[in-house]
């Protein structure tokens, strides 16, 4: 059992709960619930910063193109982008598939939730600035070029499911050796580990806060592994990160993107 | 009406422009040098345009874009009028960018160009500094160039939309230590404000408090520690900023 925060739909405050990432359960008011049976809401209050090309395999997948135009060399600093507030949805909410797009790319990422203001933080102290961790799906419309910010491919409404909870920092012994698995309709489609990050969590925090401040509640996505699975309408996506939790969402056509309400 | 957010004697106020000063909600009028100016809007999602003036695109030896080059900025980068922007110690080329900023007033989804102005709350001035030394060729411009702490002064005023007759016909000027270094007109934008609102709201929802920094014309020069940089837009405001060192 680990301590975590959840947010229930319709209730403005967080609930501090005991969770078990191994069997997707939450203990709330003395009772045990399967996470899929709780009306979970979005947990993210700050700004979400993503990092591109931070898995060794994703970096290698760019291949020789990295040295050709327009890139003309390896990146020298973390390549970052923002997932704005309109993208964030909670665990269990559907992911909208835009009308003009056949498939979406799943971006399985560990989300590092900051616990206090971090400016010019050293690697040795970096983990102390973390409040906890969550599972994030950095959804994109597939695109090849990383020369320009992919705003129209990455910033659509509902393109950043996160959850199901924020597990407290101390529940995760080492954020740099976590297995990440993606299941589509129950089938394992992607597997990697945060041990393959080019910049591990402390190094990322150090390199980013060298030039910008991360505030409490901000979330850092450590990166998306190579070989992102593609999904279409009707597909059920489950991202598991060992010891952190499992995030499940289903893809629906944009025009069907409403909450299920039974009266 | 011109609105601002200021700190005065330890409290934060929504203020209005009054004769020669700043009017607090309780009626006190204080001098514009007596207050600490904050960004006039608490930033929501903030978009910025790259290469949105044909002359500037040419100056940087790029072709004008065929689709808006949009990037996002985080809240850490914004500071108010009369504040200091820190220049990194290793920077060789750090330039200002005087930009008309559009503040969204109503939720906007799939808005048509002809209706776009109904979604605008008002306008302000931004100075979107770039540290060109860090401009790598990935997700260009990267956050290290454009999202550093203190590198986006904004303000002083949010001018109500109804008080700006034609936002697409305003002159922009930048003065460094009193010398005019940049001059242009919002007429020369490649993608104008209605186009940008239609473009963005077509694929994502814009919310009140979201902002669009619309890009800058040609005339960029390096700014050094101690320089006073004034970015000014006709009818919108005169935003004063000073460059400081980056020593801890």
Where exactly are the structural domains of chain A? 43-262
Pick from B72, B138, B204: CB nearest A52: B138
Answer yes or no: do B59 and B103 share one domain: yes
Instruction: Look up the CATH number of the domain holding residue B10.
Output: 2.30.30.370
B77 Cβ contact partners less than 8 Å away, ≥ 6 residues apart: A212, B146, B147, B148, B149, B150, B151, B152
Same structural domain for residues B15 and B111?
no
Domain of B27, in residue numbers: 1-38
**Is B86 in the same domain as B198?**
yes
Distance CA A132, CA A139 (A): 22
Scan for tokens 């319709």, then name that residue: A10
Number of structural domains (chain B) is: 2
Cis peptide before A164 (omega within 30 of 0): yes
Q: Is there a single domain that holds both residue B32 and residue B47? A: no
Q: Which residues of B touch A81 (CB under 8 A)?
A: 71-72, 139, 143
Judge: B149–A156 Cβ closer than 8 Å, yes or no.
no
CATH number for the domain including B117? 3.90.850.10
Q: Is the bond into B141 cis (omega within 30 degrees of 0)?
A: yes
Instruction: Kindly list the residues from chain B whose CB atom is less than 8 angstroms away from the CB atom of residue A147.
Output: 137-140
Instruction: Judge: A212–B149 Cβ closer than 8 Å, yes or no.
Output: yes
- Determine contact: A66 vs chain B, CB below 8 A: no
pLDDT digits over A70-105, tens only? 999 999 999 999 999 999 999 999 999 999 999 999
Stated length of chain A: 263
d(CA A238, CA A245): 10
CB < 8 Å to B148, chain A: 211-212
Contact status of A124 with chain B (Cβ, < 8 Å): no
Pairing of strands A48-52, A79-83: antiparallel
Question: What integer pLDDT is reported at residue B20 of this predicted model?
Answer: 80
Please judge whether B204 and A84 are an interchain contact, meaning their C-beta atoms are less than 8 angstroms apart.
yes
Secondary structure of residue B133 in the 3-state scheme: helix
Quick one: CA torsion of B172, B177, B179, B183, rounded to 10 degrees?
Answer: -20
Residue in A with minimal Cα distance to B140 = A148
Residues of A in Cβ contact (< 8 Å) with B248: 120
Angle, vertex CA A145, rays to CA A133 and CA A178, nearest 5: 25
Return the CATH number of the domain spanning residue range A43-262: 3.90.850.10
* pLDDT of B60: 58
Residues in chain B: 248
pLDDT tier for residue A260 given thresholds of 50, 70 and 90: very low
Determine the Cα–Cα distance for residues B95 and B34; give it in Å rounded to an integer.
Answer: 29
- Going from the first residue of chain B to its last (248 residues), give the mean pLDDT of each consecutive group of 10, the final group possibly shorter: 97 94 96 97 96 74 75 98 97 97 97 98 98 95 96 98 98 98 96 97 97 95 97 98 91
Regarding whether B54 and B32 lie in a shared domain, the answer is no
pLDDT of residue B56: 63
In the structure, what pLDDT confidence band is assigned to residue A257 with cuts at 50, 70 and 90? Answer: confident
For chain B, what percentages of helix, strand and coil (3-state, to nearest 5) are there? 15, 40, 40
pLDDT digits (tens, 9 = 90+) for A209-242: 999 999 999 999 999 999 999 999 999 999 999 9
The reply to whether A226 touches chain B by the CB within 8 Å rule is no
Q: Which residues of A touch B204 (CB under 8 A)?
A: 84, 86-87, 155-157
Distance CA B181, CA B221 (A): 7
Is the per-residue pLDDT at A259 higher than 60? Answer: no
Which of B210, B203, B219 shows the shortest CA–CA distance to B67?
B203
- Entry pTM: 0.95
User: What pLDDT score was predicted for residue A261?
Assistant: 44
3-state secondary structure of B111: coil
Inter-chain touch B207–A151, beta carbons under 8 Å = no
The answer to whether the peptide bond before residue B231 is cis (omega within 30 degrees of 0) is no
Same-domain status, B72 and B34: no
A86 → closest Cβ in B70, B75, B204: B204
Backbone angles phi, psi at B148, to 5 degrees: -75, 150
Whether chain B has a CB inside 8 Å of the CB on A100: the answer is no
> Cβ–Cβ of A71/B142 closer than 8 Å?
no
Q: Does B115 touch chain A (CB under 8 A)?
A: no
B143 touches chain A (CB under 8 A): yes
With residue B3 as reference, give the H or E element that holds it.
strand B2-8
Residues of chain B contacting A70 with CB distance shorter than 8 Å:
137
Contact A155 B143 (CB under 8 A): no
Residues 6+ apart with CB under 8 A from B85: B79, B127, B129, B150, B151, B153, B241, B242, B243, B244
Six-digit token pair at A46?
């700050």
* Unique residue bearing structure tokens 């992911």: A95
- A111's tokens: 């989300």
Determine if residue A134 is left, alpha or beta; phi over 0 gives left, psi from -120 to 50 gives alpha, anything else beta.
beta
Cβ neighbors of A229 (< 8 A, separation 6 or more) are A105, A106, A182, A184, A189, A190
Of A240, A243, A220, A230, nearest in space to A108 by CA: A240
Q: How far is B188 from chain A (nearest CA, A)?
A: 23
Residue for token pair 């100016």: B37
Do B6 and B101 share a domain, yes or no?
A: no
Query: Apex CA A91: angle with CA B44 and CA A85, to 5°?
Result: 5
Tell me which chain A residue has its CA closest to the CA of residue B108: A86
Between chains, do A79 and B70 touch, taking CB under 8 Å as contact?
A: no
Is some CB atom of chain B closer than 8 A to the CB atom of A79?
Answer: yes
Closest residue in chain B to residue A120, using alpha carbons only: B248
pLDDT digits (tens, 9 = 90+) for A7-58: 999 999 999 999 999 999 999 989 999 999 999 998 999 999 999 999 999 9
B131 shares a domain with B32: no
Give residue A255's pLDDT band: very low, low, confident or very high (50, 70, 90).
confident
Q: Using CA atoms, how far apart are residues A161 and A106, in angstroms rounded to an integer?
A: 10
pLDDT at A258: 67
């Amino acid at each position: 059992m680990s301590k975590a925060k959840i947010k229930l739909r319709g209730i403005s405050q967080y609930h501090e709960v005991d969770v078990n990432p191994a069997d997707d359960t939450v203990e709330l008011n003395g009772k045990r619930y399967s996470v899929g049976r709780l009306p979970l809401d979005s947990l993210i209050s700050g700004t979400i910063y993503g990092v591109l090309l931070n898995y060794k395999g994703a970096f290698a997948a760019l291949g020789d193109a990295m040295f050709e135009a327009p890139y003309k060399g390896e990146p020298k600093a973390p390549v970052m982008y923002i997932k704005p507030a309109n993208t964030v949805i909670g665990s269990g909410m559907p992911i909208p598939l835009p009308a003009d797009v056949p498939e979406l790319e799943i971006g399985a990422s560990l989300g590092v939730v900051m616990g206090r203001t971090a400016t010019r933080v050293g690697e040795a102290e970096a983990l102390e600035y973390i409040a906890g961790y969550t599972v994030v799906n950095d959804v994109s419309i597939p695109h090849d070029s990383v020369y320009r910010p992919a705003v129209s491919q990455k910033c659509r409404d509902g393109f950043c499911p996160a959850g199901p909870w924020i597990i407290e920092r101390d529940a995760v012994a080492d954020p740099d050796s976590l297995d990440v698995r993606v299941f589509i309709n129950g089938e394992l489609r992607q597997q990697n580990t945060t041990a393959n990050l080019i910049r591990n969590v402390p190094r990322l925090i150090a390199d980013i806060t060298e030039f910008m401040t991360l505030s409490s509640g901000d979330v850092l996505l450590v990166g998306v592994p190579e070989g992102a699975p593609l999904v279409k309408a009707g597909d059920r996506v489950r991202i598991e990160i060992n010891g952190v939790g499992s995030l499940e969402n289903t893809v629906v056509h944009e025009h069907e993107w409403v909450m299920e309400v039974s009266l | 009406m011109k609105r601002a957010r200021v700190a005065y004697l330890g409290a934060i106020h929504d203020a209005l422009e009054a004769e020669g000063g700043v009017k607090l909600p309780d009626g006190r009028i204080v001098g514009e040098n007596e207050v600490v100016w904050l960004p006039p809007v608490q930033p929501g999602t903030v978009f910025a345009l790259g290469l949105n003036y044909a002359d500037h695109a040419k100056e940087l030896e790029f072709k004008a874009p065929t689709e808006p080059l949009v990037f996002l900025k985080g809240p850490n980068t914004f500071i108010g009028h009369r504040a200091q922007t820190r220049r990194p110690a290793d920077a060789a080329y750090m330039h200002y960018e005087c930009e008309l900023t559009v503040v969204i007033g109503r939720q906007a989804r799939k808005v048509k160009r002809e209706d776009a102005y109904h979604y605008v709350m008002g306008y302000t001035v931004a100075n979107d500094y770039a540290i060109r030394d860090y401009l790598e060729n990935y997700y260009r411009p990267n956050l290290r160039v454009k999202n550093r702490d203190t590198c986006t002064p904004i303000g002083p005023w949010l001018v109500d939309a109804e008080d700006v007759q034609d936002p697409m016909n305003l002159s922009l000027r930048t003065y460094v230590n009193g010398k005019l270094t940049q001059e242009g007109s919002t007429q020369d934008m490649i993608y104008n404000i209605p186009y940008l609102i239609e473009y963005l709201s077509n694929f994502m929802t814009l919310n009140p408090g979201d902002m669009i920094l619309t890009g800058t014309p040609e005339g960029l020069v390096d700014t050094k520690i101690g320089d006073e940089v004034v970015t000014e837009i006709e009818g919108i405001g005169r935003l004063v900023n000073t460059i400081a060192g980056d020593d801890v």
